[in-house]
Amino acid sequence: MANITIDGIKASVPDGSTILQAARSVGVAIPTLCYHPDQSIKANCRICVCEVEGNRLLQAACSQPVAEGMVIKTRSPKVLEARKTILELILANHPQDCLNCIRNGNCELQDLSMEYCIRDNPFEMKVRGFKKDFSTPSLFRDPDKCVMCRRCVEACSVIQSVHALGVENRGCHSMVVPTLGMDLIDSPCIMCGQCIHACPVGAIGEVEYIEDFLKAVADPDKIVVTQIAPAVRVAIAEEIGMQTGEMPMETFVTGLRQIGFDYVLHTNFTADLTILEEGNELLKRLGGGGKLPMFTSCSPGWVNFCETFYPDLLDNLSTCKSPQQMFGALTKTYWAEKMGVDPSKIYSVSIMPCVAKKFEAQRPEMNSSGYQDVDVVLTTREIGRLFRMSGLDFTKLPPSNFDSWMGAYTGAAVIFGASGGVMEAALRTVYEVVTGKTLEDVNFTATRGITGIKDAEVDLDGTKVKVAIANGLANARKLMDQVRAGESPYHFIEIMACPGGCIGGGGQPITKANAKRVERIEAIYVEDEGLPMRKSHENPEVKALYDEFLHEPLGHKSHELLHTHYHDKHKKYL
Amino acid sequence: MAEEMRIVLRNYGKVDPLKIDDYIAQGGYKSLEKARSMDKKALIDEVKKSNLRGRGGAGFNCGLKWSFAAGNVSPQKYVVCNADEGEPGTYKDRLIMEGDPHTLIEGMAVCAYAIGATQGYIYLRGEYPFLVETLNIAIGQAKEKGFLQDFDLEVRSGAGAYVCGEETALIESIEGKRGEPRFKPPFPPNEGLWSKPTIVNNVETYANIPVILEKGAEWYAGIGVASYPGTKVFTLTGDVVNRTFFEVPTDTTIRDVIFTFGGGVRDGKKFKAVQIGGTSGAFIPESLLDTKVAFDDMGAIGATLGSGATFVMDETRDIVDVVTRIMKFFEHESCGKCAPCREGTARMYELMEKVNDGHGSAKDTALMNKLGNVMSYSCLCGLGQAAPAPVLTTIKHFGADYQAKMK
């Protein structure tokens, strides 16, 4: 332990603590900008500088370890002047665009400017003049707003191992750019959107489709239908000032009707369906009918990653579409039939925690219904904006239920939102199919948690199945390299592009720390436990779908509507 | 009467750099042999006792630095020579490598033995490609003669970044990454190249080692100023008669460097200012010329010894114009990692240009003063910390020049 003094407060802190950690432990909040609790220390913004007695130089609190007897001042006049000047420098080349910016109200630079009472700037306002990059359907970059904290570079290159973002040039000309300075669409970017969470300001954000949505709602001819991903409900509460997980599903549904959806259905329905299709596909491959290990295919960021970096292993990917896309194909066929509506009038919206889903919906092959299966994808954040725009008071809204035919779901579907959930859901069904026995305890807890790579061996009455789960793509690479080398001991691998799984997706409320992902994961399993049905094959609407429409898993109809193929996206320069 | 004293340049002009036998004939590699016969701790103590302080500009006690690296247990350690020599107006390290590469190699080999390293790198400024062959030949000859033993020494080239003279940026560059400094701690003797214990010392620092071992720490400690003993190579440029180099004891005054060795101001003009240490050095007026050039003496007058580059300006020189050009240099050389330097160097240049073009006011100099001070204690590395010095010292000592440009 080291005995130190911070702003006159005496404290005893563990050896090796940084000034920042020590200060927080005694309630002294030192402002930061480039610091991120789940990333390496950058110490490049210099906002957190503090005075350390005996040193003429100010020390960055985030990187400077404490020493016995250290006397630290975090708010001396010298420090305040330094912080204010550094802020003014950053602001002087930052577009004064707050009113139009996607991060208005949720921006670390705005927060600092407010805290330091920045009223004017002695430096001449001069933005760098970079052009915005809207080349992808999922996310955009606005490089003029970049404060060069490099959190996005670490998210992309270290946590995701995609390396689509890097730093180019030197000094005041240095900038964060996609690979070789290309547009994002030409870079290895897999559109997971983890960079959006990493960015403290509005330099990266999701491509919004709110205007399209509102236009469709206003069009009396359009039937606006939505599906909601399981990871959305636990987080939507955060967008409107409630606690994680606190938004009841029935109130959420009412809220969605209020903002203009004619029909509210659930992606969980097709998540259950996916388990039926994918579970059977796994059994087929286990019996020699396909490549092993089989990888899940519901994470479009992961699919993009596989197509880009492991195109030689595309045959290992399940041919199942993601629940979103299965839903899209069925809405304009099965559901339209059941409802007696003209599928050409259906405006199919999907509410997702994900920005890669915006790209997935626009894939040319996603049109098995005869139309673009999913017309538009809105992120949890965009729904948050629509809710705030509508001024709804969620404490007063009455509950309402999902609409029919594609709104019922089990707990197995809910857990898709967390890393390990698809695996657990699959096991709950595959167990009963293979053993013919009823699964008494549906909890496969070995699959749960935010740990990057998990694995387990499941005994299906004598048949041993080895499974692995990865979240975050640097972790996925380890499993993939093993497969490529022919050394993988697994039969079935679940991969989610985003740390923690979909609850940490690129479209979720801006997620500042993994601690929040853990909170959302907990809420997912609480929801699962509270449901009467927890196995996908018990879903009555899924049963009805097979009885009336699909006839059998992996059958002809399924193949047409619910399965897909992949593309080698290997870039020449990789 | 001050006299030149050649320690690091003792063999300059006297040996053929491509003939190791010349160096051996001068007693070369005897110190390395002696070092290897000594207990490592005793060897480091001897270097410490000499009070040799770094000649690259930071002035840290050489032996003390070696003791930190030696104190770490690690199967792999590195000895790195900072031959980036980025300070404009400095070519002392070039002289040493051109004229007597073996004194550098021997010094590095002594360090390697002392700390327990078997791998060394000479990080050579990219603008000295002609020295790559010289160094490689010298290293090859030393290896052939069996002097290096288990010490493997390689030359690595820089690529034109002033910031790579900063030891951690240099290390990043060797690692193949962008040449950007790291925050310290950790310091390189504990975690340096590829996170291993690493000694980074300047060419001139290493060049002193063989002589210190030959003639003894006490002898060395008695030369020049006690707090910063030994000699320093000065390279003189600007409005000085003798635009050449000298090696003098550290108790020499600035006045002596310019007027005795430098021959005074050329063309009979009057002295106005001298900038010592490189482009981030302070501008020193006439009134402070009797300061000794030793590290701490310079610090006491708000100046730095730095690399020993000595840039003399006569009465006709427009100080504001000179400083503007200097700030353009820093804007260009800032690595861009930390906000106050990335933005600050650009703003300092912008403001100096405004003043230099006659559009400035007292508000601008006040702003530069504030910005310069903030940079000097907030920036991540020495580049940003020292870059404002020319502006700050000239606003202080040459305010009239600024006044003359105000609208």
Contact B56, B205 (CB under 8 A): yes
Q: Is A502 a catalytic residue?
A: yes
Tokens representing A232?
Answer: 């959305």
Domain ranges of chain B: 20-221, 225-314, 319-403
Q: What's the average model confidence in pLDDT over A427-439?
A: 94
Whole-number pLDDT of residue A570: 79
Whole-number pLDDT of residue B2: 67
- Fold classification of B319-403 (topology level): de novo design (two linked rop proteins) (1.20.1440)
Whole-number pLDDT of residue A395: 94
Confidence of residue A528 (pLDDT cuts 50, 70, 90): very high
Q: Is A298 a catalytic residue?
A: yes
- Fold classification of B20-221 (topology level): Rossmann fold (3.40.50)
Whole-number pLDDT of residue B3: 85
**The one catalytic residue among A321, A357, A516, A535:** A357
Contact A212, A361 (CB under 8 A): no
The gap from C-alpha B374 to its chain's centroid, in whole angstroms, comes to 24
Crossing angle between the packed helical segments B339-356 and B362-378, to the nearest 10 degrees: 160
Which of A46, A64, A174 shows the shortest C-beta gap to B340? A46
Tokens representing A102?
Answer: 């996607």
Q: Is A457 a catalytic residue?
A: no
Q: Tell me how far CA of residue B240 lies from CA of A9, A73, A546, B165, in angstroms.
A: 56, 47, 95, 27
Q: Cα(B285)–Cα(B301) distance, rounded to whole angstroms?
A: 11
**What are the pLDDT digits (tens) for A456-471?**
999 988 889 999 999 9
CB contact under 8 A, A60 and B183: yes
Q: Which residues contact A187 (CB under 8 A, 6 or more apart)?
A: A164, A178, A179, A180, A571
> Of A111, A113, A107, whose CA–CA distance to A203 is shortest?
A107
Chains A, B: CB contacts within 8 A come to 94
Tokens representing B88?
Answer: 């404009």
Which of B185, B367, B371 shows the shortest C-beta gap to A65? B185
Walk me through the domains of chain A, giving residue ranges and CATH numbers.
2-75 (3.10.20.740), 92-206 (3.30.70.20), 211-562 (3.40.950.10)
pLDDT at A168 exceeding the cut of 70: yes
Q: What's the average model confidence in pLDDT over A490-512?
A: 98
pLDDT at A571 exceeding the cut of 80: no
CB contact under 8 A, A173 and B336: yes
Give the minimum alpha-carbon distance from A53 to chain B in angstroms, rounded to a whole number. Answer: 13
CB contact under 8 A, A86 and B374: yes
CB contact under 8 A, A174 and B185: no
Q: Cα(A343)–Cα(A371) distance, rounded to whole angstroms?
A: 8
pLDDT at B1 exceeding the cut of 60: no
CB contact under 8 A, A63 and B183: yes
Nearest chain A alpha carbon to B334: A171
Confidence of residue A561 (pLDDT cuts 50, 70, 90): very high
Which of A65, A90, A171 shows the shortest C-beta gap to B334? A171
Whole-number pLDDT of residue A572: 72
Q: Is A348 a catalytic residue?
A: no
Q: Is A318 a catalytic residue?
A: yes
**pTM of the full structure:** 0.96
Interface membership of B385 toward A (CB under 8 Å):
yes
Gyration radius (Cα) of chain B, Å: 21
Report the 10 Å Cβ neighbour count for A20. Answer: 23
Whole-number pLDDT of residue A188: 96
Tokens representing B116?
Answer: 């327990």
Q: Cα(A208)–Cα(A159) distance, rounded to whole angstroms?
A: 25
Which chain A positions have a beta carbon within 8 Å of B161's beta carbon? Answer: 170
Whole-number pLDDT of residue A316: 98
Give the minimum alpha-carbon distance from B333 to chain A in angstroms, rounded to a whole number. Answer: 7
> Of B102, B175, B89, B168, whose CA–CA distance to B135 is shortest?
B102
Which chain A positions have a beta carbon within 8 Å of B337's beta carbon? Answer: 44, 148, 174
Q: Which residues contact B382 (CB under 8 A, 6 or more apart)?
A: B57, B58, B166, B280
> Of A383, A363, A32, whose CA–CA distance to A206 is shortest?
A383
Q: What's the average model confidence in pLDDT over A163-189?
A: 96
Q: Which residues of A touch B (CB under 8 A)?
A: 41, 43-47, 49, 56-58, 60, 63-65, 78, 81-82, 85-86, 89-90, 92-93, 122-124, 147-148, 167, 169-174
Interface membership of B160 toward A (CB under 8 Å):
no
Whole-number pLDDT of residue A463: 85
Report the 10 Å Cβ neighbour count for A356. Answer: 31
Report the 10 Å Cβ neighbour count for B209. Answer: 29
Q: Quote the mean pLDDT of chain A.
A: 97
CATH number corresponding to B225-314 = 3.10.20.600
Give the minimum alpha-carbon distance from B280 to chain A in angstroms, rounded to a whole number. Answer: 17
Give the minimum alpha-carbon distance from A172 to chain B in angstroms, rounded to a whole number. Answer: 5
Interface membership of B334 toward A (CB under 8 Å):
yes
Give the minimum alpha-carbon distance from B183 to chain A in angstroms, rounded to a whole number. Answer: 7
**The one catalytic residue among A298, A306, A354, A498:** A298
